[in-house]
């Protein structure tokens, strides 16, 4: 429901005049200010239910947080009388919901924009507009690495408003100690633990393999080590000066296969979903699983019988590059490309308001951030958080599927599943990704215009 400002029209007009003068001085509002005789209603569109403030909280808690944020915003920006935030549906259906809404000319002034969709779809299809020159007065409030996730070809297309994630391996601390397994520092250490785990009747590592969109996370890790610089090599692949079939790209698939061949990663992962992966770990049936820091709330709720910990995806033997763990801000706020011009100032005002540290704390603190996209938000000091900030975050790189066209992400996910299942060679996997990219180029959708 929209949040209404409870003032008279005359008092709102006076407040608007006073506020406009101050905002012009800050550079946050163009002069002369737009006229809002009846006030502005800002419409925020999210493609899925995850595109909300505090997405891990219950719906009631989310609404409470949104109400508090919007009420404060309307007091700070009285030319706005309401904010309507429409975000619903499953994440997997998000693109279809977005495109259906745009084809139906559904009004949207701002878009709650996941970095994955922003880079892979929204920018390419011109659903969002660059805001590089509009965020200068408050840019310093935003973590630079987080803002980089929404930057393409030097243009900023969104502001991150979420916790920052990284990727790690979760493990059963009690089991490792019982079996005399030290925390693995290298892949060789991890491989050496496999016989002890199997002798104890425990699956070494299980992945949510039936949730295919999660497979590329493995490629981010191995490609960093195989290429030496996963971001730079990905960019040259997309520019066409190198290919997805080059030796480092093929090697990345081979390294994933090595985890299966060595018995670390269970091939049973192909039929396991997220809930199954989590349940097996909580029940002590698997010793480890690999995932993002978004797994932590689930671990805190479900793991009751043992202590769990984290260690970074390890360095693999003979690779030229260092580990690079996929991560960054999950959610952001973007300016819709079809926003009415008279609403732009108010929309940028809402973005500015969300970057205020005291406001960001309202919607980020409940998420128990290990790190956050807005500076000044309190961070968790639990042992796992300290370890992640020490080991994982310094080696975190932008998720490659925030750079790839979505078709490349889909092809990579399918290719990894084929390699893990033994139905596709690493060479064939790399070739399938190159084919997918060639088809995107042939359709005229790449490079983005």
* 242-299 tens-digit pLDDT: 999 999 999 999 999 999 999 999 999 999 999 999 999 999 999 999 999 989 989 9
Please name which of 124, 166, 445 lies closest in space to residue 326, comparing C-alpha atoms. 166
Q: Which residue has the higher pLDDT, 188 or 297?
A: 188
Pairing of strands 286-292, 325-329: unpaired
Predicted local distance difference test score (pLDDT) of residue 253: 98
Give percent above pLDDT 70 in the chain: 91
What's the CATH code of the domain at 200? 3.40.190.10
Please name which of 379, 377, 330 lies closest in space to residue 158, comparing C-alpha atoms. 330
Examine the domain organization and report whether 430 and 294 are in the same domain: yes
Predicted local distance difference test score (pLDDT) of residue 9: 40
Identify whether 363 is part of a domain.
yes
- HEC profile of the chain: CCCCCCCCHHHHHHHHHHHHHHHHHHCCCCCCCCCCCCCEEEEEEECCCCCCCCCCCCHHHHHHHHHHHHHHHHHHCCCEEEEEEEECCCHHHHHHHHHHHHHCCCCCCEEECCHHHHHHHHCCCCCEECCHHHCHHHHHHECHHHHHCCEECCEECCEECCEEECEEEEEEHHHHHHCCCCCCCEHHHHHHHHHHHHHCCCEEECCCCCCHHHCHHHHHHHHHHHHCCHHHHHHHHHHCCCCCCCHHHHHHHHHHHHHHHCCCECHHHHHCCHHHHHHHHHCCCEEEEEEEHHHHHHHHHHCCCCCEEEECCCECCCCCCCCCEEEEECCEEEEECCCCHHHHHHHHHHHHHHCCHHHHHHHHHHHCCCCECECCCCCCCCHHHHHHHHHHHHHEEECHHHCCCHHHHHHHHHHHHHHHHCCCCHHHHHHHHHHHHHHHHHCCCCCCC
pLDDT at 40 over 60: yes
| Least confident among 82-91, 96-105, 112-121, 419-428 | 112-121
Q: What is the rounded CA–CA span in Å between residue 259 and residue 267?
A: 10
Predicted local distance difference test score (pLDDT) of residue 34: 39
Q: What is the mean pLDDT of the chain?
A: 91
In this prediction, residues 415-420 reach a mean pLDDT of 98
Q: What does pTM read for this prediction? A: 0.77
Examine the domain organization and report whether 234 and 318 are in the same domain: yes
Cα 278 from chain centroid (whole Å): 20
Examine the domain organization and report whether 128 and 204 are in the same domain: no
Q: What is the rounded CA–CA span in Å between residue 65 and residue 92?
A: 25
Q: Which domain holds residue 243?
A: 165-328+405-442
Identify whether 390 is part of a domain.
no
Examine the domain organization and report whether 97 and 157 are in the same domain: yes
Identify whether 113 is part of a domain.
yes
Domain end (from 367, 383, 417): 367
Identify whether 393 is part of a domain.
no
Identify whether 184 is part of a domain.
yes
Q: Into how many domains does the chain fold?
A: 2
Identify whether 54 is part of a domain.
yes
The predicted-structure confidence for 122-168, as pLDDT tens digits, reads as follows 998 899 999 999 999 999 999 998 998 999 888 999 999 999 999 99
| Backbone CA torsion sign across 349, 355, 358, 364 | positive
Examine the domain organization and report whether 217 and 101 are in the same domain: no
Residue whose tokens read 């909580």: 282
Examine the domain organization and report whether 275 and 413 are in the same domain: yes
Examine the domain organization and report whether 298 and 230 are in the same domain: yes
pLDDT at 16 over 50: no
Examine the domain organization and report whether 157 and 56 are in the same domain: yes
Examine the domain organization and report whether 169 and 285 are in the same domain: yes
In this prediction, residues 221-238 reach a mean pLDDT of 96
Examine the domain organization and report whether 87 and 175 are in the same domain: no
Examine the domain organization and report whether 156 and 172 are in the same domain: no
Identify whether 4 is part of a domain.
no
Examine the domain organization and report whether 280 and 422 are in the same domain: yes
pLDDT at 398 over 90: no
Query: Please, which pLDDT band fits residue 38 given cuts at 50, 70 and 90?
Result: low
| Backbone CA torsion sign across 361, 363, 367, 373 | negative
Domain end (from 367, 396, 419): 367
Token duo for residue 341: 């011009």
Predicted local distance difference test score (pLDDT) of residue 168: 98
Identify whether 376 is part of a domain.
no
| Backbone CA torsion sign across 110, 114, 116, 117 | negative
Q: For residues 430 and 415, is the Cβ–Cβ distance under 8 A?
A: yes
Domain end (from 367, 382, 414): 367
């Amino acid at each position: 429901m929209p949040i209404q400002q409870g003032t008279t029209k005359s008092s709102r007009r006076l407040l608007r005049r006073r506020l406009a003068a101050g905002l012009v001085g800050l550079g946050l509002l163009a002069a002369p200010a737009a006229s809002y005789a009846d006030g502005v209603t800002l419409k925020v569109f999210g493609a899925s239910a995850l595109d909300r403030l505090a997405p891990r909280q219950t719906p009631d808690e989310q609404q409470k947080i949104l109400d508090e944020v919007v009420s404060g915003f309307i007091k700070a920006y009285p030319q706005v009388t309401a904010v309507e935030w429409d975000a619903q549906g499953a994440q997997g259906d998000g693109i279809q919901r977005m495109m259906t809404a745009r084809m139906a000319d559904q009004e949207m002034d701002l878009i709650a924009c996941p970095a994955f969709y922003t880079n892979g779809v929204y920018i390419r299809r011109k659903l969002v507009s660059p805001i590089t020159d509009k965020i200068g007065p408050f840019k310093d409030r935003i973590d630079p690495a987080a803002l980089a996730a929404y930057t393409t070809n030097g243009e900023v297309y969104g502001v991150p408003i979420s916790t920052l994630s990284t990727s790690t391996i979760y493990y059963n601390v009690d089991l490792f100690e019982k079996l005399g397994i030290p925390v693995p520092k290298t892949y060789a250490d991890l491989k050496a633990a496999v016989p002890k785990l199997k002798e104890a009747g425990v699956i070494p590592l299980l992945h949510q393999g039936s949730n295919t969109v999660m497979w590329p996370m493995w490629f981010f890790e191995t490609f960093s080590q195989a290429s030496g610089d996963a971001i730079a090599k990905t960019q040259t692949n997309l520019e066409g000066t190198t290919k997805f079939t080059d030796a480092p790209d093929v090697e990345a698939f081979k390294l994933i296969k090595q985890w299966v061949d060595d018995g670390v990663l269970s091939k049973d992962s192909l039929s396991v979903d997220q809930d199954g992966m989590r349940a097996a770990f909580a029940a002590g049936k698997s010793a480890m699983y690999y995932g993002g820091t978004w797994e932590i709330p689930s671990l805190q709720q479900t793991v009751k019988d043992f202590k769990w910990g984290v260690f970074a995806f390890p360095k693999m033997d003979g690779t030229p590059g260092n580990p690079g763990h996929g991560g960054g801000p999950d959610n952001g706020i973007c300016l819709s490309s079809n926003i009415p011009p008279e609403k732009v100032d108010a929309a940028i005002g809402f973005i500015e308001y969300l970057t205020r540290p005291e406001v960001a704390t309202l919607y980020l603190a409940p998420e128990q951030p290990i790190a956050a996209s807005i500076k000044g938000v309190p961070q968790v000091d639990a042992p796992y958080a300290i370890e992640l900030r020490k080991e994982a975050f310094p080696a975190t790189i932008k998720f490659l599927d925030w750079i790839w066209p979505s078709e490349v992400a889909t092809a990579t996910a399918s290719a990894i599943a084929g390699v893990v299942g033994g139905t596709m060679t690493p060479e064939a996997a790399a070739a399938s990704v190159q084919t997918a990219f060639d088809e995107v180029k042939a359709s005229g959708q790449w490079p983005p215009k």
